[in-house]
Chains A and B, each alone.
Chain A
Amino acid sequence: MKPILTITKRELTGYFASPVAFVFIVIFLMLSGFFTFMVAGFFERGQASLEAFFSWHPWLYLFLVPAVGMRMWSEERRLGTLELLLTMPVTPWQAIVGKFLAAWTVLALALGLTFPVWITVNYLGNPDNGIILAGYLGSFLMGGAYLSITAMTSAMTRNQVVAFIVSVVISLFLILAGYPPVTNLLVHWALPWVVEAIAAFSVMTHFESIQKGVLDSRDILYFLSVIVFSLFTTGVIVRTHRAG
């Protein structure tokens, strides 16, 4: 447990020593503000809810989360510090979890800093704060799922750009599999249960159901399984091609 925290602490210093964390947080706040108020028409809706705010998160995260996570392992490879880290008395999974938690903390911080939006709806109307809380939880879990995928792609290569692109492609697939315009198209091609089965693999399906305020354990389980699976794969990759 101790080594995990040591590594998390170091990674966080790394994120804040370089502009990565600041740039991410500022861009995330600016874009989520822009989409919520300008594009989704937050005020025009006349609803006291954060639906307009959360509905953009799958798309915002698609590019922003890989940008935060792409350096996680490729940088270690590029600098050669992977050799230091893996010859320290820590297990690879401690390093993997430690690094993942640090990046997830950065996401959580960015998400937490959107609290003025929450204050605004509460000032303007009487929103269901339970639903809003569920929305935040869903968004946080979804960010974690994207991040774990980025951890996996970043373990494969010393090139951050490659890690970024592969991660965006995988995440995009996970969005589109359950994105209504796509599923509506798919219905013409495949049996409904096939479409539903594919959609069950999508972050969209699960994120939307959490956003409605229904905290179904299956949705939470979905995100946690994506995280566990991706981090497990990261471990396999790190262990099998250490010197590559």
Chain B
Amino acid sequence: MIQVRNLRKTFGPKVAVGGVSFKVEKGEVLGFLGPNGAGKSTTMRMITGFIPPTDGEAVIGGFNIVEQPIEAKRLMGYLPENAPSYADMTVNGFLSFTAELRGLSGSAQRKAVDRAVEMCFLENVLHQSVETLSKGYRHRTCFAQSIIHDPEVLILDEPTDGLDPNQKHEVRTLIRKMGQTKAIIFSTHILEEVEAVCSRAIIIDRGVIVANGTPAELKARSPQAGAITLRLGVEPKAGIKAVVAKLEGLNQVDHVSILGSAPVELRVFARKNVSPADLAGLLSETAMKEQWALQELHAEEGRLDEVFRNITLPDTKSAGKENK
């Protein structure tokens, strides 16, 4: 549904997006992750036709956004960053206006507005002017605008930004539900959101894609993914050092790190080619043999925030680099 090929955008000498390619099919929710200034919004603005790319192309449902902008834009709903809307209109007026621009009129228009209002919980503020709304409601008003024509493609730039936890939850549920039938791209820097909503995630840093995969695949790139964590109820008489030495003596174990000493918590990292399941079996046997009071043993899935930190540079570091 969405095909992005080698999209580039430069502002003067500054490269905001440096050649990004990916595909999103119907039924997919693509999470677009990256630190601030990574180029998420710029990429989305090129896909939605707000700014022309310096190079490369975006094709929506077969229509090139630069060559056939009107056809491509018809298929798309877009929630820009900061959710802008006309302050001088009522919610109802604003939604009717956007529905009309989408070519809906008469009863079809009214139905579309009612549907969007219901999905975004806007009934209470329908006749209130947008400028008198709280941030959460304003945000949802702009969100409602993006789904008013039930588009096949949805581009959402930080859809949960500035919402309270309940509203965040509602919006996530909504995105997940709509993701079953639409092609959705949404950007965020909240990692839990990716796990909760996305079928696939792309991490972008300083304008280039640094990772692309399902949340599980990304988590597996974490250094601790596959490691086994052990917790012992009481410290063995020989002391914690002896336990570590015993474990590191095993053929399959690469190294052990100590997470805590009361209660004893250890993380065991396997050598290459040793599966987490094998390692777990071995560890529980060893614990039994040595009569350690094993309380807990589990394999680490890896954590997205670690992967994120490992492959993207913090803002301050990259800013420092630029100055040189």
Contacts and interface: CB of A to CB of B under 8 A. Distances in A.
Nearest to B86: A81
A10 B94 CA distance: 9
A84 B89 contact: no
Contact of B86 (A3, A14, A83, A91): A14
B101 A18 contact: no
Contacts of A80: 80, 82, 84
A87 B48 CA distance: 6
A122 B85 CA distance: 48
A87 to B, nearest CB: 4
Given A81-B84, A81-B85, A243-B50, A89 B101 contact: yes
A2 B70 CA distance: 14
Interface residues of A, number: 23
A89 B85 contact: no
Contacts of A212: none
B89 A14 contact: yes
Contacts of B254: none
B102 interface: yes
A2 B145 CA distance: 19
A84 B100 contact: no
Nearest to B88: A17
A120 interface: no
Interface string A138-173: 000000000000000000000000000000000000
A115 to B, nearest CB: 29
B230 to A, nearest CB: 53
Given A80-B80, A80-B82, A87 B89 contact: no
A18 B131 CA distance: 12
B40 interface: no
B19 interface: no
Contacts of B129: 17
B258 interface: no
Contacts of B85: 79, 81, 84
A91 B50 contact: no
A89 B97 CA distance: 13
B113 to A, nearest CB: 14
Contacts of A84: 78, 80, 84-85, 98, 142, 145
Interface of A: 2-3, 6-7, 9-10, 13-14, 17-18, 79-81, 83-84, 86-91, 242-243
Interface of B: 45, 48-51, 69-71, 73-74, 76, 78, 80, 82, 84-89, 93, 97-98, 100-103, 129, 142, 145
Question: Which are the 6 A-B pairs with shortest beta-carbon distances?
Answer: A80-B84, A89-B73, A17-B88, A87-B48, A83-B80, A89-B74
22 contacts: A2-B103, A3-B101, A6-B97, A6-B101, A10-B97, A13-B89, A13-B93, A14-B88, A14-B89, A17-B88, A81-B84, A81-B85, A83-B45, A83-B84, A84-B84, A86-B49, A87-B76, A89-B70, A89-B71, A90-B101, A91-B69, A91-B70
